[in-house]
């Protein structure tokens, strides 16, 4: 598959959830527990009681208000429509119950592949990462081909091995980006995987920080300078981002932003939208 075919103009759309063309897979396949994020318990493989017969959510516009903010902070990266329309060729699980459990097992595998594609696509859009664009492109094409495997082969995929390979190039991208703006006086506690739950980081210069996998739950990042920061896998639930500058930050997803709190003064990368609850 050529790069021209793979990285077509619609790829950005293909890596975003398109619930109209999905059989509500995240609302069925995944389990959740009653908590601040979900109003009740649900087992994996059981349809959420808010899922309608047309596979649309009955409370989609009021998820946070109705106690389902966990749903607004979930991102399938387009895996739902890929499994529904490509892997299972438009055959839904309600009318084909014999394939239901298998489809629910394929979905999280596809979600991981699409997440990798999302990050690789982002890395390919970063000018400073141009020296490694050939490798990023090769990696993207490889993962994209995997998403088109049969359901049987998808189920046997060693996803962790592919993730490790992709991660190598994402790390290199991160180093190239963060080297552009790193604050030399960055506090030592601000690093990859840091536990910064509830940390008071208001107004700090955190440019070029490596926040990979950091736990920033309810951290106060108001008015912080977060330009060129790597947010991959960071948990920013309830983090305060009002007035923060995240221009040029990388590997930050819409789901992460949806889980945080900000305001109209928060500067986000252009690919991300200001969540409704920030306005």
184 three-class SS: coil
Q: Which of residues 56-115 bind ligand SF4 (CB under 6 A)?
A: 57, 59, 68, 71
Which of 22, 50, 79, 109 binds ligand SF4 (CB under 6 A)? It is 50
The least distance separating ligand SF4 from the CB of residue 57, rounded to whole angstroms, comes to 3
Contacts 24+ apart (CB under 8 A), 242-251: 242/266, 248/177, 248/181, 250/122, 250/123, 250/126, 250/173, 250/174, 250/177, 251/119, 251/122, 251/170, 251/174
Asked if residue 48 binds ligand SF4 (CB under 6 A), the reply is yes
The least distance separating ligand SF4 from the CB of residue 197, rounded to whole angstroms, comes to 25
Stretch touching ligand SF4 by CB under 6 A, among 46-54, 127-135, 197-205, 229-237: 46-54
| Cβ atoms of 260 and 236 closer than 8 Å | yes
The least distance separating ligand SF4 from the CB of residue 107, rounded to whole angstroms, comes to 13
Which H or E run contains 87?
Answer: none
Stretch touching ligand SF4 by CB under 6 A, among 49-57, 142-150, 160-168, 181-189: 49-57
The least distance separating ligand SF4 from the CB of residue 27, rounded to whole angstroms, comes to 3
Distance CA 109, CA 97 (A): 20
The size of the interface with ligand SF4 (CB under 6 A), counted in residues, is 8
Asked if residue 242 binds ligand SF4 (CB under 6 A), the reply is no
Stretch touching ligand SF4 by CB under 6 A, among 44-52, 87-95, 179-187, 266-274: 44-52
Stretch touching ligand SF4 by CB under 6 A, among 45-53, 96-104, 116-124, 164-172: 45-53
Complex with ligand SF4: residue 43 or 161, whichever CB lies closer:
43
Complex with ligand SF4: residue 76 or 215, whichever CB lies closer:
76
Give which of 214, 209, 226, 217 is closest to 267, Cα–Cα.
226
Q: Is 218 exposed, middle or buried (0-12, 13-18, 19+ CB in 10 A)?
A: middle
The least distance separating ligand SF4 from the CB of residue 37, rounded to whole angstroms, comes to 10
Asked if residue 22 binds ligand SF4 (CB under 6 A), the reply is no
The least distance separating ligand SF4 from the CB of residue 79, rounded to whole angstroms, comes to 15
Q: Which of residues 170-189 bind ligand SF4 (CB under 6 A)?
A: none
Complex with ligand SF4: residue 42 or 82, whichever CB lies closer:
42
- Neighbouring CB atoms inside 10 A of 208's CB total 23
The least distance separating ligand SF4 from the CB of residue 41, rounded to whole angstroms, comes to 12
Give which of 207, 219, 193 is closest to 249, Cα–Cα.
207
| Cβ atoms of 174 and 251 closer than 8 Å | yes
Distance CA 56, CA 63 (A): 13
> HSE (CB half, 13 Å, CA atoms) of 72?
25
Asked if residue 255 binds ligand SF4 (CB under 6 A), the reply is no
Q: At what angle do helices 133-146 and 159-178 cross, to 10 degrees?
A: 150
Residues at the contact surface with ligand SF4, assessed by CB under 6 A: 27, 48, 50-51, 57, 59, 68, 71
């Amino acid at each position: 598959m050529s790069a021209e075919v793979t990285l077509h103009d619609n790829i950005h759309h293909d890596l975003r959830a398109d619930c109209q063309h999905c059989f509500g897979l995240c609302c069925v396949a995944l389990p959740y527990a009653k908590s601040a994020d979900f109003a009740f318990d649900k087992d994996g493989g059981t349809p959420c009681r808010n899922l309608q017969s047309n596979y649309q959510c009955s409370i989609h516009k009021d998820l946070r208000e109705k106690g389902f903010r966990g749903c607004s902070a979930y991102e399938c990266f387009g895996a739902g429509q890929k499994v529904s329309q490509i892997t299972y060729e438009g055959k839904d699980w309600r009318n084909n119950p014999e394939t239901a459990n298998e489809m629910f097992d394929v979905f999280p595998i596809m979600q991981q592949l699409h997440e990798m594609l999302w990050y690789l696509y982002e890395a390919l859009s970063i000018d400073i990462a141009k020296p490694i664009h050939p490798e990023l492109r090769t990696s993207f094409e490889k993962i994209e081909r995997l998403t088109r495997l049969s359901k049987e082969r998808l189920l046997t995929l060693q996803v962790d091995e592919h993730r490790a390979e992709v991660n190598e190039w994402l790390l290199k991208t991160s180093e190239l980006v963060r080297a552009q703006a790193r604050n030399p006086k960055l506090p030592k506690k601000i690093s990859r995987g840091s536990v910064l739950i509830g940390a008071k980081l208001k107004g700090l210069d955190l440019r070029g920080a490596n926040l990979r996998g950091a736990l920033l739950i309810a951290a106060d990042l108001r008015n912080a300078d977060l330009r060129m920061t790597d947010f991959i896998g960071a948990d920013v639930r309830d983090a305060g981002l009002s007035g923060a500058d995240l221009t040029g930050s990388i590997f930050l997803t819409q789901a992460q932003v949806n889980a945080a709190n900000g305001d109209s003064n928060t500067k986000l990368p252009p690919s991300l939208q200001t969540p409704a609850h920030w306005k």
